[in-house]
Amino acid sequence: MRRGNRLAAIALVLATPAAAGEWAQIVAPLALSFPSYHGSHPSFRTEWWYVTGQLAEPGGRRYGFQLTIFRQGLDPSPPASGSSALRARQVLAGHLAVAEVGHKTMRFAERVRRVAAGLAGASENDLDVFLDDWEMRRLPSGVIALVADDRDSGLTLNLELQPAKPLVLHGEGGVSRKGPEPGNASAYVSFTRLAARGRLSFDGRERAVQGEAWFDHEWGSSQLGGGMMGWDWLGLRLADGRELMLYRLRDATGGAAPESAGTLVAPDGTTRHLVVGEFTLEPLAWWTSPRTGARYPARLRVRVSLAGLDLEVRPEVPDAELDARASTGTVYWEGPVAVTGTATGEGYLELTGYAGEALTRF
């Protein structure tokens, strides 16, 4: 399970009549069938496709980007006779965020639509998700194409992502435990390194960009156990060819829950599942949002002794707080980071549950 999105999941779940018994549960290692594995899984309550990455212009200007599409199931039971085809059985929400590293600024846009009448939808056969005119699609070549734009924030994103390494199954065969109860788990797979190439526009000024990206796909129905305050997630691409994914679930005391975990991906694509105790995340500094007053960890010391990693993770744009109350109902911090220490690299950091108001409300 991952991040900001999870808050969204909670918001939506609380808002709808509980019918959890009827949602499918992630209980055992998955039987993976491609390419439908990349598509939508509507029998589960929540699902998202999450792309982050670093891009640069040939001239050198650097950017971080995030495009996420969340799917939220509202009603697992089959449609009643006579019910409208416009009935919202699922909702898609989208977050688009681009960081201009040089300017230390962030632009953000969001969308939310019901899955009906061709307004928004997600194929069950392969990755083919659309939300208004935003699209995330896997081409026959295996390239993932992203299209998203927003007039109000002046953003346009047009990228093609070519997986550079095989698909990673997190946890145990893709089953990522998030809580103590059976069913407190999600299916979680990633392309941890993709070559990105395409165009990025700001207020109509188009720039050719290229770089590297990270693609997550996760779904489930009732992943989280109770008492969680939020989580810190990071996905780092190290210069030595390794990738590191860690998430720390924070309980009411701020301590790491036992289900916190991670994955270390070797240059050849082999993976090592990391459990709590095998890694530490330690805030070195804090940043307080001028808008919400939330206090987020600003620099992190990340240690994975068994991999010989002692890293400092530093945000490239300090203010990467995203206000998504109009689409998923959440406020979270998500932005590009640079890595120094025993290895160098780059990646994305996500911090949720710090804007206390949002958490308590949902």
Partner 1 sequence: MLLRTFFLRPVRRRPLRFVTTVVGVAAGIAAVVATISASQAAVASLREGVAEIAGRARLEVTAPAGVPEQLLGRLRPISGDALVVPVIEEIALVPTLGDAVRVLGVDLLVDAQVRTLELSAKDGTPLVVAHRMLTGRGVLVPASLASRLALRAGDELAVSVRARRETLTVAGVFTPTRFASAWDRVLVVDVALAQELFGRQGRIDRIEIVPRSGVDEAGLAAWARRLLPPSVRVEAPAERGAASSRMVRALQFNLTALSGVSLFVGAVLVATTLATSVVQRRTVLAIARSLGSSRRQLALVVLAEALAIGVLGGALGVAGGLFGARAALASVRSTVAAAVRGVPATAIQLSPSLAIVGLLVAVLISLAAAALPLVEAIGTPPVQGLTSERPAFLRRPSRRRAALLAIGLLALAAALARAPAWHDLPVAALLASMALLGALLVSASPVLDALARRTAGPQGGGGAGTPLRLAVAALAAGRRRASWAAGAVGVAVALAVAIGTMVHSFRATVVDWADQGMRADVWVRPLTATTGVQVGRLDPEVVRTAERLFGIQVIDPFHTAEATMRGQPVTLGAGAFAVVARRGGVSFRDGRDSRDVFATALRHHAAVINEPFANRFRVNEGDTIRLRVPGGELVRAVEAVFFDYSHQQGMVVIDRNDFLRIYPDDGPSELALFLPPGADPATARDTLLSALGGRFLVEALLNKELRDEVVRIFDRTFAITRALQAVAVAVAVLAVLTVLFALLGERRRDLALLRAVGGSRAQVAAVVAAQAALLGLTGAVGGLAIGLAIGLVLVKVVNLQSFGWTLRFLPPWSALAATALLVTVACFVAGLAPALAAVRMHPSEDLREEG
Among 18, 32, 133, 255, binds partner 1 (CB under 8 A): 133
Span near partner 1 by CB under 8 A; candidates 58-66, 130-138, 210-218, 269-277: 130-138
Nearest Cα residue to 91 out of 329, 362, 322, 351: 329
For the stretch 338-347, what's the b/e string if a residue is b when 16 or more beta carbons lie within 10 angstroms of its beta carbon? bbeeebebbb
265 binds partner 1 (CB under 8 A): no
Measure Cα distances from 142 to 137, 203, 216, 233, 266 in Å: 10, 31, 15, 27, 22
Span near partner 1 by CB under 8 A; candidates 38-46, 49-57, 128-136, 216-224: 128-136
Nearest Cα residue to 5 out of 149, 162, 183, 219: 219
350 binds partner 1 (CB under 8 A): no
The residue among 135 and 160 lying less far from partner 1, judged by its C-beta, is: 135
Span near partner 1 by CB under 8 A; candidates 32-40, 78-86, 236-244, 255-263: 78-86
Helices within the chain (DSSP H only): 4-15, 356-361
First to last CA, the chain: 18
The residue among 33 and 81 lying less far from partner 1, judged by its C-beta, is: 81
268 binds partner 1 (CB under 8 A): no
The residue among 91 and 245 lying less far from partner 1, judged by its C-beta, is: 91
Backbone angles phi, psi at 240, to 5 degrees: -80, 5
The residue among 205 and 268 lying less far from partner 1, judged by its C-beta, is: 205
The residue among 74 and 169 lying less far from partner 1, judged by its C-beta, is: 74
361 binds partner 1 (CB under 8 A): yes
> Rounded to 5 degrees, what angle do the CA atoms 314, 206, 96 make?
50
CB of 292 to partner 1, least distance (A): 15
Among 33, 84, 141, 253, binds partner 1 (CB under 8 A): 84
360 binds partner 1 (CB under 8 A): no
For the stretch 12-43, what's the b/e string if a residue is b when 16 or more beta carbons lie within 10 angstroms of its beta carbon? bbeeeeeeeeebbbbeeeeeeeeeebbbbbbe
For residues 47 and 14, give the distance between their C-alpha atoms in angstroms, rounded to a whole number: 16
21 binds partner 1 (CB under 8 A): no
Radius of gyration of the chain (CA): 19
> Rounded to 5 degrees, what angle do the CA atoms 273, 279, 285 make?
135
Among 103, 151, 199, 291, binds partner 1 (CB under 8 A): 151
CB of 65 to partner 1, least distance (A): 17
28 binds partner 1 (CB under 8 A): no
285 binds partner 1 (CB under 8 A): no
The residue among 31 and 86 lying less far from partner 1, judged by its C-beta, is: 86
16 binds partner 1 (CB under 8 A): yes
Evaluate whether 110 touches 66 at the Cβ level (below 8 Å): no
The residue among 104 and 361 lying less far from partner 1, judged by its C-beta, is: 361
88 binds partner 1 (CB under 8 A): yes
Measure Cα distances from 139 to 5, 54, 132, 149, 160 in Å: 25, 22, 19, 20, 10
Evaluate whether 192 touches 265 at the Cβ level (below 8 Å): yes
The residue among 54 and 328 lying less far from partner 1, judged by its C-beta, is: 328
CB of 78 to partner 1, least distance (A): 13
| 171: Cα separation from own chain's centroid | 16
The residue among 20 and 117 lying less far from partner 1, judged by its C-beta, is: 117
From residue 95 to residue 124, the character string flagging contacts with partner 1 as x (rule: CB under 8 A) and all else as - is -----------------xxx-xxxx-----
The residue among 81 and 141 lying less far from partner 1, judged by its C-beta, is: 81
Give me the residues that bind partner 1 (CB under 8 A), please. 11-12, 14-17, 74-75, 82-88, 91, 112-114, 116-119, 130, 132-133, 149-152, 325-329, 361-362
